[in-house]
Amino acid sequence: MSEIQGIYVLWLRDVKKFFRIKSRFLGSLGMPVFFLIFLSIGFRRVIIPSLPEGISYGDFVVPGIIAMVLLFSGTFSGVSVVWDRQFGFLREIIVSPVSRAAIAVGRTLGGATTALLQALILLILSFLIGFRVPISAIPALILSMYLIAMAFTGLGILFSVFMHDVHGFQIVINFFVFPIFLISGTIFPISELPESVAIISMFNPLTYGVDAMRFVIFGFSEIDPLLDFAVLLASTIVILITAGFFFSRTEVE
Amino acid sequence: MKPVVVQELSKRFRDLLAVDSVSFEVDEGEIFGLLGPNGAGKTTTIKILVTLLKPTSGKAFVAGNDVVKKPGAVRKSIGVVFQDTTLELEFTARENLDFHARLYGMGREERRRRIEEVLSLVELSENADQLVKNFSGGMKRRLEIARGLLHFPKVLFLDEPTLGLDARTRRRIWKYLEEFRGETTIMLTTHYIEEAERLCERVAIMRNGKIIAEDSPEALVRRLEGERVVVKAKNPEKLMAAIRELSIFERNGRLEIFVESAEHFIPKLFEIARNEGVSIEEVSVKRASLEDIYVKLTGGET
């Protein structure tokens, strides 16, 4: 019981902070909004052979940019455990009766929720440039978005275990988050990639996440949608267990 | 079993033995102080007791539970105030307390009542809904003490509770801690002698990872039989070299010598000074205090 209350209160903290620090989430929306606008303007006349009739590049790229928000915000909020460690707040949590596993779960759910909220804001903004989602698709869309968010928040927490200060942020962003973003079919179909690169993208959970989102929205997918959800769910679970395991073993000094 | 029992506890960090076979016990309801210079191993000892670090060897029990085998049970029964602030700065004082109360599984009604109670205890009721990031250092520390007591811990651990605070705020925090005396067992670390002398029923003095003395402040002072002679001289180094007494220190430009009897020592002092050609400017005799025993035992490091 107290474990569930612990998870809840950690989740609540992230959500409260999200609504309190408006500059942070407005700032983090800047880049995806520009990507969204300028990619769809710049490539509006480009014809990509692997895209079916009726799906323009502008439509194609919206789920990709939403996935980008989930990836970046999720990883960020996971890695922000490092801040908690540096500013001491982690100790307050660690010496409480709530178990480390529950702490990892609470942080993941909280981080994933704030990432989801940011992505939903972007989705609403995309309606302004003419993007449309069938209403019946919304529950499955939100589910796939939340799974993506959880996977990358969990991964961020896993990174935070091995990072000792905030300087590691830059490494995570440049050498991890960006490659994952670029080789996942977010801004171009993976069928356009040379085979050697396409194989790498098959080991990227985001590839399946974006593909699942596109299937839910357009009915178009490059991978079997069942496989999409299976891989997405499995990788989320594996990441959460791994993150929980390593997080439980860290000594907080 | 006593609320805190420590048996031959050691902690090694690579080649540094931070805590070296330390044993002590804290009685129910007392304020127990670990006094010592920086790097003596006080904080490491506390961190082991609150389950943040695992000991290399030895045993420690808090509220009857082994800190290694039953960390969960230990965590339930303790409150901790760390040296550096561990508050959520983006939250108000009340939100910080509410967060804490929920972490400790307190119910809604109990939570509400107890939060008001601890807020008024540390005189922060009026600031309850202000963001903590706008608090002064003293207010933050008071809030952390309130938070440490919120869930009725059996033992409250305070690591340097008044470090970096001004004299007025420090006295205020002492006043709160004295109010809880007897209700909760309190264990604190400090390198302020006056803090230990004022608050603690018993004090253990640590140096280089070892406890070198342990008793009530009065008994420790009594143990240092004799008096302290304070001398201001023109050439203190020369005088210091010539005096054979074992306990001699230089502090604030004066020599301090611990002697059994000042009456007998002072004539000898002048004789030595004349032989060495050192002129003495001032001599005073002081009754020994906890500070003296501390200086004597730790060599004057702070």
Share of residues in chain A with pLDDT > 70 (%):
98
Chain A residue set in contact with B, beta carbons under 8 Å? 1-2, 5-6, 8-9, 12-13, 16-17, 20-21, 87-99, 251-253
pLDDT at A235 over 60: yes
Give the tens place of pLDDT for each residue, A90-144.
999 999 999 888 999 999 999 999 999 999 999 999 998 888 899 999 999 999 9
Top residue of B102, B131, B132, B143 to mutate, by most chain A CBs within 10 Å, is B102
pLDDT at B206 over 70: yes
Ranges A202-216, A236-250, B121-135: which has the least confidence: A236-250
With an 8 Å Cβ cutoff, is B75 touching chain A?
A: yes
Average confidence (pLDDT) over B111-127: 94
**What is the structure's pLDDT at A252?**
64
Give the tens place of pLDDT for each residue, A204-222.
999 999 999 999 999 888 8
Average confidence (pLDDT) over B68-90: 93
Ranges A15-19, A223-227, B87-91, B294-298: which has the least confidence: B294-298
Alpha-carbon dihedral B211, B213, B215, B216, rounded to 10 degrees: -110
pLDDT at A60 over 60: yes
**What is the structure's pLDDT at B67?**
95
- Among A5, A92, A95, the residue with its CB nearest the CB of B102 is A5
Alpha-carbon dihedral B181, B184, B189, B190, rounded to 10 degrees: -20
pLDDT at B302 over 60: no
pLDDT at A1 over 70: no
**pLDDT bracket for residue B210 (50, 70, 90):** very high
**What is the structure's pLDDT at A253?**
59
Complete DSSP assignment for chain A: -HHHHHHHHHHHHHHHHHHH-HHHHHHHHHHHHHHHHHHHHHTTT---TTSPTT--HHHHHHHHHHHHHHHHHHHHHHHTHHHHHHTSHHHHHHTSSS-HHHHHHHHHHHHHHHHHHHHHHHHHHHHHTT----GGGHHHHHHHHHHHHHHHHHHHHHHHHH--STTHHHHHIIIIIHHHHHTTTSSS-GGGS-HHHHHHHTT-HHHHHHHHHHHHHHS--SS-HHHHHHHHHHHHHHHHHHHHHHHHH----
pLDDT at A80 over 70: yes
Residues of B in contact with A8 (CB under 8 A): 102
- Which domains does chain B possess? 4-216 (3.40.50.300), 224-298 (3.30.70)
Give A221 to chain B, closest Cα distance, Å. 43
The CB-based long-range contact list for B20-26 (8 Å cut-off, 24+ gap) reads B20/B208, B20/B209, B20/B210, B21/B58, B21/B210, B22/B58, B22/B206, B22/B209, B22/B210, B22/B211, B23/B58, B23/B211, B24/B204, B24/B211, B24/B214, B26/B2, B26/B155, B26/B185, B26/B187, B26/B202
Task: Find the DSSP H helices in B122-261.
Answer: 137-150, 167-180, 193-199, 217-223, 236-242
Give the tens place of pLDDT for each residue, B85-114.
999 999 999 999 999 999 999 999 999 999
Top residue of A15, A22, A92, A251 to mutate, by most chain B CBs within 10 Å, is A92
Complete DSSP assignment for B26-39: E-TT-EEEEE--TT
CB contact under 8 A, A16 and B91: yes
CB contact under 8 A, A95 and B91: no
Give the tens place of pLDDT for each residue, B4-57.
999 999 999 988 999 999 999 999 999 999 998 888 899 999 999 999 999 999
- Among A2, A13, A91, the residue with its CB nearest the CB of B52 is A91
**What is the structure's pLDDT at B227?**
76
User: Mean pLDDT in chain A?
Assistant: 89
Give B47 to chain A, closest Cα distance, Å. 8
Determine the Cα–Cα distance for residues A110 and A120; give it in Å rounded to an integer.
Answer: 15
Share of residues in chain A with pLDDT > 90 (%):
53
CB contact under 8 A, A253 and B53: yes
**What is the structure's pLDDT at B224?**
60
**pLDDT bracket for residue B246 (50, 70, 90):** low
Determine the Cα–Cα distance for residues B194 and B200; give it in Å rounded to an integer.
Answer: 10
Give B176 to chain A, closest Cα distance, Å. 21
Share of residues in chain B with pLDDT > 90 (%):
53
Stated as kind and residue range, the H or E segment containing B234 is none
Higher-confidence residue of B126 and A163: namely: B126
**pLDDT bracket for residue A45 (50, 70, 90):** confident
- Among A5, A94, A252, the residue with its CB nearest the CB of B105 is A5
Phi/psi zone of residue B182: left (φ > 0), alpha (ψ -120 to 50 degrees), beta? left
Residues of A in contact with B82 (CB under 8 A): 88, 91
